[in-house]
Amino acid sequence: MVKLKLSRPALFLFLAALILLLDSAAARWNPGASEDRLIAYAVLFDLMLVVPLLYWFLVARPAGKPFLRILPFAALGTFVSWLVLPAALKETAWTVYWPLELLLIAAEAVILFYEGRLLYRAARRFRELVGEEPDTAERLRRAVREVLGEGVVSSVLLHDALMLYYVFYTWTKKADVTPSDSKKYSYTYHRNNNQILYAAMLTKILLLETAALHLIVQTWSTVAAWLLTAADLWLLTLIWADCRASVLQPVRLSAGGLRLRYGLRIQADLPWHRIASVEGVEWDVRRPEERRAAVLPLFGTPNVRIRLRSPARVQGLLLLPCEVTAIYLSLDEPERFIREWGLMAQDQGDRL
């Protein structure tokens, strides 16, 4: 006999779909449903309370998420129940909706106030670091990490803040903003892979595609057309922000280890004892099982592989954290990076 074991998120989706199906059947296909107010209350109870609580017990709570994470599901349940109930019961539902909506609005206002307070603390910490950290991008990183932590939400907020900074405030900045004694151990990665050329080509394609798609979708929905246009503009901003980050922040070696700032695609701070080896690599010889535990560049052919002694947290696309055992880079001077890493690693070993 084969036993099927569902994960907690899959079990939640199954139960939520089952509840929605049963409530829809009771509200729509029962001949006397349009006159039975108990059915309206039952549907509201299931979709606005039971389903959010299922999400809390099966998904949010095991993952250590706060209880307030169920609020979006309660709001979504309100909307879905309005679609499920027949027209005759919508008036009954409205007597329940408006006090709950007021409660949700109040709760969301509290959340927005809390998030605004965190952003204010991050901005204040950013100003405090002016004399300590000359690099604006690094100040943003430190301020967000120290105030908001290293979760998914803080990673996305940091990514968007860096994206806006690079695309709007860095066009007059020079590439090298490091002290003179660390210039020697910096390594570029944007020249040989034609990143700026690719960005220009993608810009042309996106502008043409955005204009055409906007006109086509607008015949169906103006809101959808503008949403798609906004998404394309966000992608365009990301492309050029990544270009500027690639120019301004090369990969660097220092006495503390490797400071990896590979555009907005790969970022990490790795001390010397976490790195097992650095070697040249041919892209075609990578093993699939290793690729799954590695982070890869989006542009260019990887020519350097950094092996880690144990899984380490690295920020990948959108600066989302991930655990990897290898990092692949496409550097402009891979031989120099490997050679100087070997010399510095040997020097660090002699000191220990």
Same structural domain, 325 and 270: yes
Measured in whole angstroms, how far is the alpha carbon of residue 16 from the centre of its chain? 26
Q: What percent of the chain has pLDDT over 70?
A: 82
Same structural domain, 135 and 65: no
CA pair distance 46, 73, nearest whole angstrom: 12
Same structural domain, 283 and 334: yes
Same structural domain, 279 and 338: yes
> Is 184 among the domain residues?
no
* Range of lowest pLDDT (61-70, 123-132, 250-259, 335-344): 61-70
Query: For position 1, what pLDDT does the model report?
Result: 39
- Domain count of the fold of the chain: 4
Query: For position 27, what pLDDT does the model report?
Result: 76
Do residues 155 and 318 touch, judged by C-beta distance below 8 A?
yes
Query: For position 33, what pLDDT does the model report?
Result: 54
Same structural domain, 236 and 255: no
Instruction: Quickly tell me which residue has 């890493």 as its tokens.
Output: 341
Same structural domain, 77 and 138: no
Reported confidence tier of residue 29, pLDDT bands at 50, 70, 90 = confident
pLDDT digits (tens, 9 = 90+) for 55-91: 888 888 887 777 767 777 877 887 787 777 776 666 6
> Is 183 among the domain residues?
no
Contacts of 334 (CB under 8 A, 6+ apart): 280, 303, 304
Same structural domain, 140 and 99: no
Contacts of 185 (CB under 8 A, 6+ apart): 252, 253, 254, 340, 344
Same structural domain, 108 and 139: no
Reported confidence tier of residue 51, pLDDT bands at 50, 70, 90 = confident
> Beta strands 304-315 and 251-254: pairing type?
unpaired
Whether pLDDT at 98 is above 80: no
Side-chain-side CA neighbours of 53 within 13 Å: the count stands at 7
Do residues 187 and 336 touch, judged by C-beta distance below 8 A?
yes
The number of beta carbons lying within 10 Å of the beta carbon of residue 146 is 14
Whether pLDDT at 102 is above 90: no
Contacts of 274 (CB under 8 A, 6+ apart): 257, 308, 309, 310, 312
Whether pLDDT at 34 is above 70: no
Residue 245 class from Cβ within 10 Å (0-12 exposed, 13-18 middle, 19+ buried)? buried
- pTM, full prediction: 0.68
Comparison of pLDDT for 323 and 104, the residue scoring more:
323
Radius of gyration of the chain from its Cα atoms, rounded to whole angstroms: 26
Comparison of pLDDT for 49 and 277, the residue scoring more:
277
**Which letter does DSSP use for residue 57 in this model?**
I
> Is 181 among the domain residues?
no
Same structural domain, 232 and 257: no
**Mean confidence (pLDDT) of the chain:** 82
Same structural domain, 231 and 258: no
Report the candidate in 73, 79, 30, 72 with the shortest Cα–Cα distance to residue 50: 73
> Is 268 among the domain residues?
yes
Contacts of 172 (CB under 8 A, 6+ apart): none
Same structural domain, 32 and 106: yes
Q: Which two tokens stand for residue 193?
A: 């892979």
> Is 3 among the domain residues?
no
> Is 124 among the domain residues?
no
Query: For position 253, what pLDDT does the model report?
Result: 92
Reported confidence tier of residue 239, pLDDT bands at 50, 70, 90 = very high
Q: Find the mean pLDDT for residues 188-203.
A: 90
Same structural domain, 243 and 255: no
User: 143 lies in which domain range?
Assistant: 131-173
> Is 179 among the domain residues?
no
Query: For position 4, what pLDDT does the model report?
Result: 46
> Is 346 among the domain residues?
yes
Do residues 337 and 331 touch, judged by C-beta distance below 8 A?
yes
* Range of lowest pLDDT (48-57, 202-211, 233-242, 328-337): 48-57
Query: For position 180, what pLDDT does the model report?
Result: 45
Q: Find the mean pLDDT for residues 17-36.
A: 74
Do residues 320 and 155 touch, judged by C-beta distance below 8 A?
yes
User: What are the C-alpha distances in Å from 162 to residues 16, 93, 204, 244, 274?
Assistant: 38, 45, 24, 10, 27
Reported confidence tier of residue 332, pLDDT bands at 50, 70, 90 = very high
Q: Find the mean pLDDT for residues 21-32.
A: 75
| Kind plus residue range of the DSSP H or E element containing 267 | strand 266-271
